[in-house]
A and B are shown apart, each in its own frame.
Chain A
Amino acid sequence: MQVLYARHHVRVYRFVLRLVRNEATAEDLISEVFLDVWRQAGKFEGRSAASTWMLSIARFKALSALRRRPEDELDDETAGQIEDHADDPETALAKKDKGSALRQCLTKLSADHREIIDLVYYHEKSVEEVAEIVGIPEATVKTRMFYARKKLSELLKEQGIDRGWP
């Protein structure tokens, strides 16, 4: 279990943290995720990658935790990463850096859009694996990713960065 935890805990933690946006909650949740993995190990049939199975459990736990919360609370650190519309000179300078602006916009996406972007880009999940984790058809996976990217472009445009797409 230690080996499994050592290999996967950081990525599972980051996936959960991006959804719940609270470090303490994310830490509590990954303990629960790996405890469930330990409990359900006998049920894992190996039809999918272990990481896909763990991310499915993590997603379920994160969404359950979000439902228990009255609203999407942000911890100070995460809130600090999100830009205010009234830009100070430093923020305005940061906007000139397209990469920094892109990262800020990635934090502003809805939970559904953050989730799919992270699963595809960071967790390197295929269309089939994302469908399994999120529990939606493969065609919906592709269209949701498309709309997540479209929203990202719109957020960038609001910051004065026009990518010429869509």
Chain B
Amino acid sequence: MSAMKQEAPERQEIEELLPWHAAGTLSRRDAQRVEEALARDPELARRYALVREEFGEAIHLNESLGAPSARAMEKLFAGIEAEPNRRRPASFDLGSRIGEFFSSLSPRTLAWSASAAAIAIMLQAGLLANIMLTGTKPSGYETASAPSTDPGVGAFTVIRFAPQATSDDITKFLEANKLSIAAGPMAGGLYKVRVAVTGIPKGELARIVKKLQEDKVVGFIATTE
């Protein structure tokens, strides 16, 4: 009886850690304690199965929430433009940012992200090679003026393709929307994509971006100069 009384607080303590164990965010020591408790306590193991269900559905729910429109980014950069000039803080350089970003990921996320990034880079490199080797002509929304070959002329967006998009998906997306890749991949896996061979009004560009954003191939899109 006294043993049960001593065991109950320990089970309670371990049970409180189960959500973090499911998410893979416990320290090695705590994870080991939880693993040992799960191995010897079938009831705790049953409750852990419930936690795993919640974990999966919480991710499912959040992933179904979609992403913000380009309006949020436009508003942000308009806000930054309106700020008084300031020196870029030294701690905000790209190198340290990348370090912070990776240090913020759990080992599980890091492993998945690395695999996904490797696949995405291979697919996108393949796509670019395919485009260059087959001589796909950059098209876009042509006007009466002659198409320009100047990579700086035209109307552009920056796009990051969805990690699950295949090279076929991306090729079809570019062809269907008469787009061509002008530069990239840049930092963050972004590509500069030409949507028209001449400049077009901002409103028209925003309309095109909004339409393209709805395509599942697009992970992120915004207008750019």
A interface residues (Cβ-Cβ under 8 A, vs B): 1-7, 9-10, 13-14, 17-18, 23, 26-28, 30-31, 34-35, 38-39, 41-42, 44, 46, 49-52, 98-99, 102-103, 106-107, 117-118, 120-122, 124-127, 129, 142-143, 145-146, 149, 152-153, 163-165
Contact = CB atoms under 8 A, between A and B. Distances in A.
Contacts of B79: 31, 35
Contact of A3 (B50, B56, B188): B188
Contact of A125 (B16, B25, B77, B101): B25
Contacts of A42: 89, 91-92
Nearest to A163: B50
8 contacts: A10-B67, A27-B75, A30-B68, A31-B75, A38-B80, A52-B104, A99-B56, A126-B25
B71 interface: yes
Contacts, number: 146
Nearest to B190: A6
Interface of B: 15-17, 19-20, 22-26, 46-47, 50-51, 53-62, 65, 67-69, 71-73, 75-77, 79-80, 83, 89, 91-92, 94, 96-97, 100-101, 103-106, 108-109, 158, 160, 187-188, 190, 220, 222
A43 B38 CA distance: 43
B83 A39 contact: yes
Given A6-B188, A117-B54, A124-B25, 14 more contacts: A3-B187, A6-B190, A9-B67, A10-B67, A14-B62, A31-B76, A35-B80, A50-B97, A51-B104, A102-B54, A122-B58, A122-B59, A153-B50, A165-B50
A34 B53 contact: no
- Chain B binding surface, main DSSP class: helix
B48 to A, nearest CB: 11
